[in-house]
Chains A and B, each alone.
Chain A
Amino acid sequence: MKKEFIGEILYQEMMYDGCYRMVIKTDEDLLKASQPGQFVHLKINQTGSPLLRRPFSIHRIDLEQKTISLLYAVVGKGTRIMAMDLPGKKVGIIGPLGTGFPLPDPKPYHVALIGGGLGAAPLLFTAERLVEKEIKTTVILGYADKQRSMLEGDFKRLGVRTYISTEDGSIGNRGYPTEVLQEMILSEKIDAVFTCGPEIMMHKVAVICGDAGVKAWVSLEEKMACGVGACLGCVVRIRDEGGSHYEKACKEGPVFKASEVIFHEN
């Protein structure tokens, strides 16, 4: 039977003003079951407020330290509370939930990871697992500016080829990560692309990969209540032979085949 795990916040690290990495010590069963692209559903308070859990993609798993790391920005009540949480606080964790990125087995294989902003969060865990499987991995990260850029060191430490783009060019290439992908996809062999970030960026990745005939997967974000597939709040439109249908971001997703996703129009 699945259950809620209890975690204890070990520490938090400020990535930039309003963005934090929370490191939580928790049960080995949760850590061992976690796959890249999956998420956990976090109960921040035992007081009942905020009412719902908050979903976070799994940013890192450390089996030695028995920790899970989550990367988040302060956007509302829940994350505002989290940002003030001190080490030692207990949180309730359900997970791992959902369907993650399909890690390939064949070895002469090149995976490109495209992250935008906080969307880089699940890609670190993904890169770690790809490196473990000795799969060639390239990561292309896009941020608004230098102040909000992060994780370059974490990826480089894994030995992963890392590119950074910023909209204002204050660090790395000036422009979007999709422009780097566009060039790379023409000049070298990429077998699969995994992406997470703003929808407009993922949509662009889907188009670039579609045109180049490269398989791609996107990690979608939707407002979610239960996280386990019951409430039907988090549905996304998925293309099929007859047209399209809804699938649940929490169960069939959050990772979907890019070619099957019908992105929002705005």
Chain B
Amino acid sequence: MKTNGLRVTIPGKSRGCKNLVLDNPVIAASGTFGFGREYAEYIDLNQLGAIAVKGLTPAAREGNPTPRIVETEMGIINSIGLQNPGIEKFIEEEMPFLTQYNTKVIANISGNSVEEFVWMSQRLSMEKNIDALEVNVSCPNIHRGGEVFATNPEMVELITSAVRKATDLPIIVKLSPNVTDIGSVAKRAEAGGADAVSLINTVLAMAIDIRQQRPVLKQVFGGLSGPAIKPIALRQVWQVYQSVTIPIIGMGGIMDGNDAIEFILAGATAVSVGTGNFVNPTACVDVLEGIKDYMKDHHLDHINQLVGKAHR
């Protein structure tokens, strides 16, 4: 392996926009890693390519009532409800902590309207230590009866282009798997000016308590994550790779280096580890070590040599 054999670059496509350069392709997935504090007790955060922080909203949100989480076969369904301190408190209280590390910071933003996405993008762009925005379009649009943005390709393009105008940070659009044709949604994100797409978000799901004869989660539905969704995620990364030219950040049930390699072969430039962190606080580092082992075993100079290689 070459010295920089793990470095991956997501080029800023638009004029004057920054590149996102990661020392390695492993990212801690938004919503599974808080703001890094909890896991800093178990791993050196400098070892990560990036941290995608807990999803942020303009104001603080206290989240959904419990039960918020249930384990199912090889997966977890969650309905946390975007509990977060809001943008200002994040900048004031969490950014100083994250800034101690060299690891790139990806701010994940969730809005209920185009205006909210724009405002958050502008506000976060004023912070010099934020390296990219991840736009979570899997939120309900309050102006359209709660329709989820991600399921409407036009809205995805509209939000992306509005965020594009509001920031010169690299934009990653996080796609929902709960659509008929994820490739066409990805194309719209690309057309709107996204520098990358990340996928997949969680799969809409539910569980029922047969003793109490009612849904387990208070909110009835939640998002399924973990190894149970890996085959779906891989298939969708594959489809998106055939639909767009911008880099893909692949995720969905990655537990070890071999899982990550599968995603890279399917077309992912980088990978995110989510639910794996809940099982092993050292999961991100374990995945990175597994990737290195694979590269060594296969005499690879650079991780880029593997991206999309299974398409043949």
Contact = CB atoms under 8 A, between A and B. Distances in A.
Interface string A1-40: 1111000000000000000000000000000000000000
Given A48-B74, A50-B71, A235-B68, A230 B34 contact: yes
Contact of B70 (A50, A223, A228, A230): A223
Interface string A46-71: 00111111000000000000000000
A43 B69 contact: no
Contacts of A1: 41-44
Interface residues of B, number: 35
SS class, residues of chain A in contact with chain B: loop
A230 B33 contact: yes
B277 A230 contact: yes
A251 B32 CA distance: 15
Contacts of A232: 63, 68, 80, 83
Given A1-B42, A1-B43, A231 B32 contact: yes
Interface of B: 32-34, 37-39, 41-44, 62-63, 66-71, 73-76, 78, 80, 83, 226-227, 255, 275, 277-282
B182 to A, nearest CB: 25
Contact of B279 (A3, A43, A246): A43
A151 B63 CA distance: 40
A186 B278 CA distance: 46
Nearest to A78: B71
Nearest to A229: B38
A228 B83 CA distance: 16
A235 B63 CA distance: 10
A225 B62 contact: no
Interface of A: 1-4, 43, 48-53, 94, 222-236, 245-246, 251
A17 to B, nearest CB: 20
Contact of A51 (B32, B277, B279, B282): B279
Contacts of B255: 48
A228 B33 CA distance: 10
Contacts of A43: 279-280
Nearest to B281: A228
A59 B70 CA distance: 25
7 contacts: A48-B227, A50-B71, A51-B226, A51-B275, A222-B67, A225-B69, A235-B66
B80 to A, nearest CB: 5
SS class, residues of chain B in contact with chain A: loop
A234 B71 CA distance: 13
B279 A233 contact: no
Contacts of B33: 230
Contact of B63 (A2, A230, A246): A246
Nearest to A228: B38
A228 B68 CA distance: 16
B55 to A, nearest CB: 11
A94 B281 contact: yes
Given A49-B74, A223-B68, A234-B66, 4 more contacts: A94-B281, A222-B66, A223-B70, A229-B37
Given A1-B41, A51-B76, A233 B282 contact: no
B294 to A, nearest CB: 19
Given A48-B227, A226-B277, A246-B63, A233 B80 contact: yes
A251 B37 CA distance: 12
Contacts of A52: 71, 76, 278-279
A234 B78 CA distance: 11
A222 B44 CA distance: 29
Contacts of B281: 2, 4, 94, 226, 228
Contacts of A224: 69
A224 B42 CA distance: 19
B67 A51 contact: no
Contacts of A231: 32, 69, 78, 80, 278
B310 to A, nearest CB: 23
Contacts of B280: 4, 43
A233 B227 contact: no
A52 B228 CA distance: 13
Contacts of A246: 62-63, 83
Contacts of B279: 43, 48, 51-53
